Amino acid sequence: MTTMSVNVHHVTRVEGHGNIVVDARNGDIKECRFEVVEAPRFFEAFVRGRPYTELNHITSRICGICAVGHSTTSAMATEKALGVELTDQAQLLRKLNFHGEIIDSHVLHAYYLVAPDFFGAGSVIPLIDVNREAVERALRIKKLSGDLCAMIGGRHTHPCALVVGGFTHTPTEDELRAMRERLVAAREDMDASVELFSSLDWPQFERETEYISLTKDDEYAFVGGRIKSSDGFEYPVEDYKKVTNEEMVSFSTAKWTRHNRESYMVGALARFNNNFDQLHPKAKDAAARLGMEPIVTNPFLNTGAQVVEMVHCVEDSIKIIDELLERGVNPEDPAEAEVKAGEGVDSCDVPRGILFHHYAYDDRGFCTDANCIIPTNQNMANLNHDMQELVPQIIDRPQDEVRLTLEMLVRAYDPCISCSTHVLTVEFV
């Protein structure tokens, strides 16, 4: 009989620091978990005591990947608290900006963090030797999505033009037309992406779980909506705590969440499973080519769902630009906020899943209390339950293969455990 101990410290190609621990003797699994070792972010401490105009800019710095997601959700929660109504144009621009970030995040995850595993490459650098065209294509898509975000948010990454009440800057119709042309041209790269990811040999693993996302009556939900569970529940976003039920666990600094089962999953696969009917027809075609039909219960296919969403977001961005041009784009100031005491909750389904921001303000518009629940925390319990079910199925395989499969599982969730500092260490030569 074998004794196996798999310890993967600081799993690479995930955001932040997380460790995989597996301890099995004689086929008896003693320990099997994913632990988070990053210090918690003390998010609330940053925003308490700050004026309402600053919160979305502060929260956009939590993460360099979900900067638009945090900024948008934060502004929406503040707008609820202060009773601010956006114009139709501002709402369309928010959605368009958000699509840019979804594409931006998904293309990086799918191509640069996940694809190397399937080509036997340790990272994207050796992947260049194996499939240079894929690496170049990912960069092209990344440039497009980054430029889309900058056109609306006013800056790459941290959107300075996105404020409570709308935007301080409006793209011109010429800029929108030029972007539309580039999005149309990107269909070819989307098609090649679907082709590439359809050809991958995904690990076979199924586990039924609860999927939680936003939902809307009239569109595939990313920005606002109601909370939907695949187990048949729906809640207004104000009731988010009924869903998240956060609890501390001893070995992880991330709080765990549970709703109707022992765990639930959020992210692209949850959205895909809950809102499949509202995907653009081309995205549904992509799903068919990827062999995905809801309900998909293989968590490794979260990456497949991301590819489907990239196709959807390119098509929906073209549609939104058409709508903006048809209405006529007018420079407009952000809607005025009436400064008053109030409380507001709102939610967006950011690249990694459903995100909640919740604020209370005093009568001068200063934040007195805040809460933020990020998608990665909501996925931690589900990832651990996946591991506990997967490990007995693969425990007889060589240790390296067990290790790689577990790393791939962690990466499939696209976890973002911390926004790191990126301080460089410089060695002079």
Partner 1 sequence: MNRRRDVLVLGLGNPLRGDDGVGPRVIAELEDHGLPEGIETLDAGTGGLDLLHVMEDHERIVIVDAAEIGKESGQFVRFTPDEVLLVESGGRFSLHHAGLAEILALTRALNRPLPPVVMFGVQPEDIGWGQGLSPKVEAGLPTLIDAVLAEITQ
Residues in Cβ contact with 256 at an 8 Å cutoff, skipping those fewer than 6 apart:
246, 247, 248, 249, 263, 377, 380, 381
List, in sequence order, every residue forming a beta bridge with 210; answer none if it has no partner: 264
Peptide bond before residue 373 is cis, with ω within 30 degrees of 0: no
Minimum distance of partner 1 from residue 111's CB (angstroms): 9
CA distance 194 to 134: 12
* Residue pair 351/69 in contact by the 8 Å Cβ criterion: yes
| Helix/strand/coil for 18 | strand
CA distance 256 to 375: 11
* Residue pair 221/313 in contact by the 8 Å Cβ criterion: no
CA distance 356 to 376: 12
Judged by CB under 8 A, the residue of 3, 204, 250, 425 near partner 1 is: 425
Minimum distance of partner 1 from residue 268's CB (angstroms): 15
Beta strands, E only, 216-316? 226-229, 234-235, 247-249, 252-256, 264-265
CA distance 409 to 314: 27
* Residue pair 270/214 in contact by the 8 Å Cβ criterion: no
Task: Output 46 or 240, the one with its CB closest to partner 1.
Answer: 46
Judged by CB under 8 A, the residue of 32, 65, 163, 390 near partner 1 is: 65
Task: Output 63 or 93, the one with its CB closest to partner 1.
Answer: 63
CA distance 407 to 243: 28
Judged by CB under 8 A, the chain residues 112 through 141 that form the site for partner 1 are 112-113, 123-125, 128, 132, 135-136, 139
- CA angle 104/141/105 to nearest 5° reads 15
Per-residue tokens: 195: 């082709």
CA distance 97 to 169: 13
Minimum distance of partner 1 from residue 144's CB (angstroms): 10
Q: Distance from CA of residue 381 to its chain's centroid?
A: 17
**Interaction of residue 325 with partner 1, rule CB under 8 A:** no
Judged by CB under 8 A, the residue of 29, 33, 44, 64 near partner 1 is: 64
Task: Identify which range of 60-68, 86-94, 236-244, 378-386 contacts partner 1 by CB under 8 A.
Answer: 60-68
Judged by CB under 8 A, the residue of 5, 7, 12, 245 near partner 1 is: 12
- CA angle 74/67/190 to nearest 5° reads 120
**Interaction of residue 185 with partner 1, rule CB under 8 A:** no
Task: Output 18 or 304, the one with its CB closest to partner 1.
Answer: 18
List, in sequence order, every residue forming a beta bridge with 28; answer none if it has no partner: 25
Task: Identify which range of 29-37, 108-116, 232-240, 289-297 contacts partner 1 by CB under 8 A.
Answer: 108-116
Task: Output 41 or 282, the one with its CB closest to partner 1.
Answer: 41
**Interaction of residue 26 with partner 1, rule CB under 8 A:** no
Task: Output 399 or 420, the one with its CB closest to partner 1.
Answer: 420
CA distance 269 to 394: 23
CA-closest candidate to residue 96, choices 219, 278, 256: 219
Taking residues 272 to 311 in sequence order and writing x for each that binds partner 1 by CB under 8 A, - otherwise, the string is ----------------------------------------
Judged by CB under 8 A, the chain residues 141 through 160 that form the site for partner 1 are 142-143, 146-147, 155-158
Minimum distance of partner 1 from residue 31's CB (angstroms): 24
Task: Output 108 or 227, the one with its CB closest to partner 1.
Answer: 108
Minimum distance of partner 1 from residue 313's CB (angstroms): 17
**Interaction of residue 63 with partner 1, rule CB under 8 A:** yes
Residue in the structure block whose two tokens are 């895909």: 272
CA-closest candidate to residue 18, choices 41, 36, 33: 36
**Interaction of residue 416 with partner 1, rule CB under 8 A:** yes
Minimum distance of partner 1 from residue 125's CB (angstroms): 5
Judged by CB under 8 A, the residue of 2, 5, 7, 10 near partner 1 is: 10
Task: Identify which range of 34-42, 188-196, 293-301, 322-330 contacts partner 1 by CB under 8 A.
Answer: 34-42
**Interaction of residue 105 with partner 1, rule CB under 8 A:** yes
**Interaction of residue 102 with partner 1, rule CB under 8 A:** no
Q: In the complex, which residues of this chain contact partner 1 (CB under 8 A)?
A: 10, 12-15, 17, 39, 41-42, 45-46, 58, 61-65, 67, 104-105, 108-109, 112-113, 123-125, 128, 132, 135-136, 139, 142-143, 146-147, 155-158, 178, 416, 419-429
